[in-house]
Amino acid sequence: MASSDLPPPRKRFGQHFLRDKQLPQRMVAVAQVGQDDLVVEIGPGRGALTEVLLEQAAGVVAFELDRDLAAWLTTRFAGRRWRLYVGDVLKVDLAACVTEAREAWGLMASPVKVVANVPYNLSTPIVEKLLAERHLWTDIVLMLQREVVWRLAATPGTKDYGYFSVIVQAACEVTRLFDVPPTAFQPPPKVMSSVVRLAPRSTPVVPPELTPYFYQVVSAAFGQRRKMLGGSLTQLGLPRAALEEALAKAGVAPASRPETLSVEAFVRVTQHLAAMMAPQVYRLKGLDNSNAV
């Protein structure tokens, strides 16, 4: 296609198209995409990553919000084993879309991987959605704003460690892979980027029956992260004496700060508090994308 036919980047969609021709190859390589894999891509842009995925994978299921860009992509990849859903990925049934592609292509037994350069202004809800459906994926490789990846991969005792670090690491093994400079995109963003792997855990760190309580405990702890746990957890509506007794049983001092606790420590605290708590449904939260472009 002529360069004049290329769809221009739209700021309202947070579009920064890949221009580094080696980067898609590198992402596909670290994701170890093979001929038996079905791959989900969110925000294909002008198709730089899509093209490489189609060369390696059994098929690609893509989601694009920009209708004009979607029409251009449909022409570019006509006749390929590629299925495009046009609209907001946050509103679609990912499991149904994956099942439709598997049935259409005879890939019911194929592993499903997510490989994507997602819109940075939607990184929080997209990661949340992928985690909620983590039983579908064998691997997740994403390009995100570098500061977001720092939070995802942060370890206890560091300034980037917080609510989202704990929740994501409870669901996945997180590996920060490599950084990507602004010059890899057109137009260049104002931030550095990083590629991260989120490998869904085969054995959950948090038992399913404890999950809603776990979210409440971690949310309360980091809701007032400057406070000691003995104080911040009073937001759960439990007596201070009962809280301190549960913390002692979990091997955690009431004077501890939330950012010093490992995921496993939060699980232990939850185990000793759950019987006293009322179950509630909590959405994931805690990733500040104010610097995203």
89, 134: one domain: yes
pLDDT at 121: 87
pLDDT at 224: 81
Q: Is 80 within the bounds of a domain?
A: yes
pLDDT band at 6 (very low <50, low <70, confident <90, very high): confident
- Residues 18, 185: contact at Cβ < 8 Å? yes
226, 145: one domain: no
Kindly report the average pLDDT of the chain as a whole number.
90
β-strand 185-186 against 17-18: which pairing, if any?
antiparallel
Q: Is 65 within the bounds of a domain?
A: yes
- CATH at residue 229: 1.10.8.100
Domain span at residue 227 reads: 208-276
227, 161: one domain: no
pLDDT at 3: 45
173, 232: one domain: no
**Which residue did the predictor score with more confidence, 284 or 293?**
284
Residue that finishes a domain, picked among 136, 170, 200: 200
155, 266: one domain: no
Give the range among 68-72, 108-112, 276-280 with minimum mean pLDDT: 276-280
pLDDT at 280: 59
User: Does pTM surpass 0.75?
Assistant: yes
Question: How many domains would you assign to the chain?
Answer: 2
45, 131: one domain: yes
pLDDT tens-place string over residues 111-136: 999 999 998 889 999 999 999 999 99
pLDDT at 286: 43
72, 179: one domain: yes
Q: Which helix (H) or strand (E) holds 25?
A: helix 22-30
pLDDT at 197: 98
pLDDT at 204: 86
Q: Is 149 within the bounds of a domain?
A: yes
Pick the closest to residue 285 from 210, 220, 200 (CA basis).
220
pLDDT at 81: 96
61, 158: one domain: yes
Give the range among 78-82, 134-138, 250-254, 285-289 with minimum mean pLDDT: 285-289
133, 40: one domain: yes
Q: Is 20 within the bounds of a domain?
A: yes
Residue 43 contacts by C-beta under 8 Å, 6 or more apart in sequence? Answer: 63, 64, 65, 89, 116, 117, 118, 119
The answer to whether residue 1 scores a pLDDT higher than 80 is: no
The answer to whether residue 2 scores a pLDDT higher than 70 is: no
The answer to whether residue 287 scores a pLDDT higher than 50 is: no
Residue that finishes a domain, picked among 200, 218, 234: 200
Question: Among positive and negative, which fits the CA dihedral 119, 125, 172, 292?
Answer: positive
Q: Is 137 within the bounds of a domain?
A: yes
pLDDT at 210: 93
Q: Is 293 within the bounds of a domain?
A: no
pLDDT tens-place string over residues 182-203: 999 988 889 999 999 999 999 8
Give the range among 28-37, 186-195, 261-270 with minimum mean pLDDT: 186-195
Residue that finishes a domain, picked among 200, 230, 254: 200
Pick the closest to residue 77 from 54, 94, 96 (CA basis).
54
- Residues 184, 18: contact at Cβ < 8 Å? yes
182, 234: one domain: no
- CATH at residue 135: 3.40.50.150
> Which class for 114: exposed (0-12), middle (13-18), buried (19 or more C-beta within 10 A)?
buried
Q: Is 288 within the bounds of a domain?
A: no
Residue 180 contacts by C-beta under 8 Å, 6 or more apart in sequence? Answer: 20, 23, 143, 192, 193, 194, 195
161, 245: one domain: no
Q: Is 269 within the bounds of a domain?
A: yes
213, 264: one domain: yes
Q: Is 234 helix (H, G, I), strand (E, B) or coil?
A: helix
